[in-house]
Structure formats: C-alpha cells, structure tokens
Amino acid sequence: MPLSREIHLVDRPKGMPEPEHFAMVETQVGDAPDGGVLVQNLYMSVDPAMRPRLTAGQELNEAMMGGALGRVVQSKSDAFKVGDLVSNRLGFREYFTSDGKGLTKLAADPELPVTVHMHALGMTGFTAYGGLLDIGKLKDGEQVFVSTAAGAVGSVAAQIAKIKGCYVVGSTGAADKADWLRNEVGLDAVINYKETPIREAVEAATPKGIDVYFDNVGGDHLEAALRRMNTLGRIPVCGFISGYNSGRSAVSNLSNIIYSRVMLRGFVGTDFMHLYGDFQRDMAGWLKEGKMKYQETILDGIANAPNALIGLMQGVNSGKMLVKLAD
Amino acid sequence: MPLSREIHLVDRPKGMPEPEHFAMVETQVGDAPDGGVLVQNLYMSVDPAMRPRLTAGQELNEAMMGGALGRVVQSKSDAFKVGDLVSNRLGFREYFTSDGKGLTKLAADPELPVTVHMHALGMTGFTAYGGLLDIGKLKDGEQVFVSTAAGAVGSVAAQIAKIKGCYVVGSTGAADKADWLRNEVGLDAVINYKETPIREAVEAATPKGIDVYFDNVGGDHLEAALRRMNTLGRIPVCGFISGYNSGRSAVSNLSNIIYSRVMLRGFVGTDFMHLYGDFQRDMAGWLKEGKMKYQETILDGIANAPNALIGLMQGVNSGKMLVKLAD
C-alpha cells in the first residue's frame, strides 16, 4: 500500500503553462488487484503533444496522462511477474494498480540504456521513422528539411534522412543545439531561427528545393518550407508546436501546394504500426553502430514534472525530456 | 493567310483583373507550315486557374494561353486532315499554325454536344473525377463537401459523389445556383455562403462530419471544413479561388489535420492520366444517362474573352465559362 504522489491539472493555461496550473497530490495506492499488478513508474516522458491536451482532453483535478516506463512491484497476474518493465500511459504518478490492460511488457535491449526505449527506440523514434518513411515516402538521396531538428522526434527524423543518403537541413532555436546538429549529428545545413529569419534561412539552405519537409512547428516554418517545395513534395505534419501556446498556426501560402502538387498529412504513430518490427530492428542497429545520436534532459523527482512540461515549451531541454521517478 | 485577333495580357492585375489589363491585337497568320496545320479555334475555355498565371507565368504582350477546341482548316501533315477537331492550349486567338505538337485530335462523341468535351467530358471533368477518386480516395457512401459546387469542376465532383452513393453538401454564392444544386442536381444539402456564415452552415449541414472535402476555394471554406473533418479524412485541393484575387488564403486551424490525421493534397489533372480511359467511358455514360447535369455560360466572340475571365472571377457564370470564336 505505497503512498504515491501524482500531478493534477487544476486550471487550463491560456498561453504558456505556468506552475499554478498544476498541483501535486498525495494518494494511497492499493495492493495489486486479483489478476492484476502494482506498478512503480521509473521514468516519465514529457512531449509537445501534451500541450493541446491541457486545453482540451485532459480532465481537471485528476492525475495527468502521459507515457511512462514502470516496473511491476507486486503481481497477482499470470501475464506479469515482479521486476517486469512495462510501458504505460499513466505517467505523472509514482505508483498505480492495473488489471494489465494498457500495459506493454518491454523487452529492454541489454546493450542499450533503458531510457532509449522512451525516445529513439520508443514511440518518439517510431513517430519519426514512420512519419518520414511511410507518410513522407522518403526516397534515398532526396532534399529534406526537418524543423526542431534537435528535438526528440526531429533529431531522429534528421538522422534517418542522413542514413538514407539525403541532403538534410535542420532548424533549431539555440546556439548549443545548432552546434550539436552541426558537429555531432553532421547535418548538411543548420538554421538557428533566432539568429536568421526563417524564410531567408530556408531559402539559402535549400538550393535544390525540398522534397520532404518533416514539420514539427507549423506557422512561419511551414510557410518558409511551402515556398521551397519541389513538385510532388510531401509534408508529414507531426506537430505544430508554434501554435500550441499562442493558439495561432496561421499559414498564408498554402496555395503553393496546388502548383507543386504537394501533400500534407497529419499523422500519429499508430498510423503505421505494421512497420513497428522493422523500426525496432533498424533503430537498435543504428543506435549500437553509433549512427543515431541522441540527447536526454532528465529532471529528478515527480515534483519536477510540471517544470519539465513548462521547460519543454520554452525549449530548455536538449533532446528528449524525461523525469526520473525512481531507480 | 487569315487575319487573326488575339488577346494579350498588357499589365498584371494586383487584385481583380480589369479590362485595361488586356488588349486585343490583330495579326496575320501564315499558311500551314510543311508537315503542319492551320487551325481555327471554335471555342475557348476560361478557368479559375488562369488567375495566378496573370500574376506570374503568363508573359506580357503575348497572346495568352488557355484551353481551346479548334478545327483544322489547312493541313500539310499526314497526322491531321482538314475538318479534324483538335484540343489545344492556344486559346485567346482565332487562328494559329502548328507543327502538330501539343494538338490532341478529338474523337467527338456524336451523341453529345461538342462543348461537353470542354468541361464535363474534358479536363475540367477529369480534374473532378481524378481529384475525388484518385487523390481523395472516395469510398461509396462517404460524407462529402464540395465548395463552388455549381462551378465547372465542383458540379462534376458533387455529382460523381452522388453517383457513388455519398451524402453530398455543396456550397455556392448565388441563389439561382443554389436552386440548381437543390432542384436539378439533387444534393443532400446546399449552402449559400452569402446568406449564412460558412462555418455555421458547414457545421449544420454535416452532422456526420466530412470524409472528403473537395476544395476549390481555400480560406474560410477550408477552415470551416477542417473543423469537421473525420479521422483519416482527405482534402484534394483543386484551387484556392478565394486567394487568387485577394492574394490571401490564410488558414488558421491547419493543426486540426494532426489530431484527425487528415491529408491535404494539391493536384492537377496530369497527376492521374492512367485513369483517363476509365474517366471517358464513365463520364460519357453518365452524360447520356442524364445522371450528369451541367450548365454552360457561352459568350460570343474573342472580344469578350477578357470579360469572360473577369466575369468568372466575379462568379457571374453558371457552370463552365466558354467563349465561342467561330461556328
């Protein structure tokens, strides 16, 4: 019967989320139910897609939802034993009980740090993989632009494109991230949109136009890309982080898609689950070969979960933003 | 050696095109060259897609380009004989000579008026057919919204969707066109966007949401549709007539495509040429069976070609806008 701390949404942010929109609540969690398990979360994930749910979708005054990696600490289930690692959607809390539904047993790769299963080798990486290859129909050697290329999804997308022999331009909003993309990841061109207007920067960096724009941003990034799209170009739309807090994601030159016959497509990872096996094999290989670099920003303790979400919106993280809840 | 009148673009309109942006020029056309033909145009087509070319693409002080149907009046070619009907891109002029490149011999269907080859049974209809079935992947019985549904492309798209058993909503900006869509075409719901705000009207007319939005308009129509798109909905984007003259086609809620995983795709008729044979058989059948209604607005004489283009932008036409150049 552990005491569990959990994070509630207590008010809906209009713009940027602030600490007062959240509250930490202590609650007593029961033993594993008959046929079920008691899980202790070890790490929880903080993602841009959480922001729209704060406006609509996430109930007020309940523990928030979010991806997490936990360990079974008590089991009355035949399907799980104590010590099993389980992926779950019940982040923002230290413990929970479950009948097993919604839990996915994780066969952690012993040659890799367990946290990679929460980004490059997890749904974050899969979103980049399927978005680029399935939705974006990337072909070897094409011209690629990735926004928020130092982010958790963007950095995987940019590196997959490099592995596929493409010319890859990435944008980011911080000098240290730009350095990482240039020197560690080795992109062909890196744009710091806080230093150079995005429109001019994208034009200068894409002399052969853009075949695939992997969009995490929307707004002025999307406008800049639309000006440069090649005929039959594709824009997999993973997120519009530019509009999540401002509420605006207006795009003024969408008509460009007509003349160049460009496709835009919003997507989520479940749109291409048939590729999950291929993804796991490819990505584990790339990670072990050192072809897939990553960064993690790990805050410690559940009390930091609101700060992690707020910081993510401000771009303070490098790569995947995680909160460590237990060893 | 006929005298031919032709229409030149002499100035680029900023907003709506005006008569002073055009000039009629008389020119002497030579005999058919060796191996070539002399063609007299009978009808020329006026299309919304011409507007962006007035801003960029159409050369100044040259005869304008546009779809036309002509008759061979002199031939020194083995491929054409006098009297052959030929589709061509050299509208806005009465006569021209050609080596035959760019001319497509038309096997006019004797059971149908020749002008249907310039709309329902021509590229206009093919654009609707392929846009809906190939780009839009329309399935029988889906929920469909078509903007400018009384227009040349929109009216064909809306009727194909009806033939496929779909629930079809059409928008138009004039009461007589709304009547035609309701009473002649038999759409399930008709929106007159000049009488009812488009957003409220689309919401009220689509209780089961929208699976396919065939977009000819962009702007506020697209915004209204994006609010109602069902999961995995598709938006074939044929034109953004709302932005052609205002220069604006801003869309503020494009982020909706992420949550509903919606596809937008700009297209032109040549994207699905593999369907042309199917289209010709289907459409000729529908026309003869009376399942495909159409309207034509035919102005007389080449001097009216600028008025036809200006009138099209103002929406004065019912259905396909044509200019008759000769019998």
Say how many CB pairs under 8 Å bridge A and B. 92
The beta strands (E) that lie in A128-237 are given as 143-146, 167-172, 189-192, 210-214, 229-237
User: Cβ B257–A248 below 8 Å, yes or no?
Assistant: no
Among A153, A132, A129, residue whose Cα is nearest residue A142: A132
* Residue B270 structure tokens: 């040549």
* Residue A97 structure tokens: 């009980």
- Identify the pLDDT of residue B269: 84
User: Cβ B237–A257 below 8 Å, yes or no?
Assistant: yes
B16 touching chain A per CB within 8 A = no
B259 touching chain A per CB within 8 A = yes
Mutate to test the interface with A, among B264, B268, B273 (most CBs of A within 10 A): B264
Q: Tell me which chain B residues have a C-beta less than 8 angstroms from the C-beta of A260.
A: 266
B245 touching chain A per CB within 8 A = no
**Distance between alpha carbon B307 and the CA centroid of its chain, in Å?**
17
- Identify the pLDDT of residue A244: 62
Which of A243, A248, A263 has its CB closest to that of B265?
A263
User: Cβ B255–A240 below 8 Å, yes or no?
Assistant: yes
Choice between B138 and A104, residue whose per-residue pLDDT is larger = B138
- Identify the pLDDT of residue B252: 87
Which one-letter DSSP state was computed for residue A315? T
User: Cβ A271–B261 below 8 Å, yes or no?
Assistant: yes
User: Cβ A268–B251 below 8 Å, yes or no?
Assistant: no
Among A268, A244, A293, A305, residue whose Cα is nearest residue A127: A268
A238 touching chain B per CB within 8 A = yes
Tens of pLDDT along B241-286? 766 655 556 788 998 999 899 999 999 888 899 999 899 999 999 9
Pair A150, A295: CB distance under 8 Å:
yes
Q: Tell me which chain B residues have a C-beta less than 8 angstroms from the C-beta of A238.
A: 258
Tell me the shortest Cα–Cα distance from B197 to chain A, in angstroms: 20
Give exposure, B81-92, as e/b (b: 16+ Cβ within 10 Å). Answer: eeebbbbbebbb
Rounded (5°) CA angle B249-B253-B255: 120
CATH fold label, A125-272? Rossmann fold (3.40.50)
Strands B229-237, B210-214: parallel, antiparallel or unpaired by DSSP? Answer: parallel
Residue positions counted in chain B: 327
User: Cβ B250–A252 below 8 Å, yes or no?
Assistant: yes
A263 touching chain B per CB within 8 A = yes
Would you say the CATH fold of A125-272 matches that of A3-119+294-324? no
Mutate to test the interface with A, among B221, B227, B240, B255 (most CBs of A within 10 A): B255
Which of B250, B260, B266 has its CB closest to that of A260?
B266
pLDDT tens, position by position, for chain A (327 residues)? Answer: 799 999 999 999 988 999 999 999 999 999 999 999 999 999 999 988 888 889 988 999 999 999 999 999 999 999 999 999 999 999 999 999 999 998 989 989 999 999 999 999 998 999 999 999 999 999 999 999 999 999 999 999 999 999 999 999 999 999 999 999 999 999 999 999 999 999 999 999 999 999 999 999 999 999 999 999 999 999 999 988 766 655 556 788 998 998 899 999 999 888 899 999 899 999 999 999 999 999 999 999 999 999 999 999 888 888 899 999 999
- Alpha carbon of A267 to those of A233, A300, B73, B222: distances in Å? 17, 31, 55, 19
Q: Rounded to 10 degrees, what is the CA torsion of A106, A109, A112, A114?
A: 20
Mean pLDDT of B77-103: 95
A267 touching chain B per CB within 8 A = yes
The type of residue at A308 is A
Rounded distance, CA B161 to CA B181, Å?
13
| H or E stretch covering B178 | helix B175-179
User: Cβ A264–B261 below 8 Å, yes or no?
Assistant: no
User: Cβ B243–A260 below 8 Å, yes or no?
Assistant: no
The beta strands (E) that lie in A99-166 are given as 104-105, 143-146
A28 touching chain B per CB within 8 A = no
B56 touching chain A per CB within 8 A = no
- Whether the ipTM is more than 0.95: the answer is no
Q: For residue A14, is it left (φ>0), alpha (ψ between -120 and 50) or beta?
A: alpha
- Identify the pLDDT of residue A318: 83
Sign of CA dihedral B87, B91, B97, B101: negative
3-state SS of A141-157 is CCEEEECCCCCHHHHHH
Mutate to test the interface with B, among A244, A264, A268 (most CBs of B within 10 A): A264
- Alpha carbon of A288 to those of A110, A128, B43: distances in Å? 11, 18, 67
CA-based Rg of chain A, rounded to a whole angstrom?
20
Locate the domains of chain A by residue range: 3-119+294-324, 125-272
B248 touching chain A per CB within 8 A = yes
User: Cβ A249–B249 below 8 Å, yes or no?
Assistant: no
Q: Tell me which chain A residues have a C-beta less than 8 angstroms from the C-beta of B265.
A: 257, 261-264
* Residue A82 structure tokens: 């104590």
Q: Tell me which chain B residues have a C-beta less than 8 angstroms from the C-beta of A239.
A: 258
Which of A237, A250, A268 has its CB closest to that of B252?
A250
Which of A240, A255, A264 has its CB closest to that of B243?
A255
Which residues face A298 on adjacent strands?
Answer: A322
* Residue B232 structure tokens: 């995995």
- The SS3 call for residue A89 is coil
Q: What CATH number should be reported for the domain whose range is A3-119+294-324? A: 3.90.180.10
Among A108, A33, A114, A37, residue whose Cα is nearest residue A73: A37
Residue B273 exposed, middle or buried by CB count within 10 Å (0-12, 13-18, 19+)? exposed
Rounded distance, CA B47 to CA B118, Å?
11
Residue A276 exposed, middle or buried by CB count within 10 Å (0-12, 13-18, 19+)? middle
Rounded distance, CA A213 to CA A169, Å?
10
Pair A227, A201: CB distance under 8 Å:
no
User: Cβ B257–A264 below 8 Å, yes or no?
Assistant: yes
Pair A214, A147: CB distance under 8 Å:
yes
* Residue A198 structure tokens: 């995005």
- Identify the pLDDT of residue B233: 98
Q: Tell me which chain A residues have a C-beta less than 8 angstroms from the C-beta of B231.
A: none
- Identify the pLDDT of residue B246: 58
Which of A239, A250, A262 has its CB closest to that of B250?
A250
3-state SS of B193-258 is CCCCCHHHHHHHHCCCCEEEEEECCCHHHHHHHHCCEEEEEEEEECCCHHHHHHCCCCECCCCHHH
Which of B52, B249, B271 has its CB closest to that of A261?
B271
Which of B240, B252, B253 has its CB closest to that of A258?
B240
Which of A218, A252, A265 has its CB closest to that of B248?
A252
Pair A29, A79: CB distance under 8 Å:
no
The type of residue at A325 is L
Tell me the shortest Cα–Cα distance from A163 to chain B, in angstroms: 26
Tens of pLDDT along B27-72? 999 999 999 999 999 999 998 888 888 998 899 999 999 999 999 9
Task: Please state at what angle helix B123-130 crosses helix B152-163, rounded to 10 degrees.
Answer: 50
Which of A262, A263, A266 has its CB closest to that of B260?
A266
Choice between B188 and B53, residue whose per-residue pLDDT is larger = B188
- Residue A270 has phi, psi (to 5 degrees) of -75, -5
Domain B3-119+295-324: state its class: alpha beta
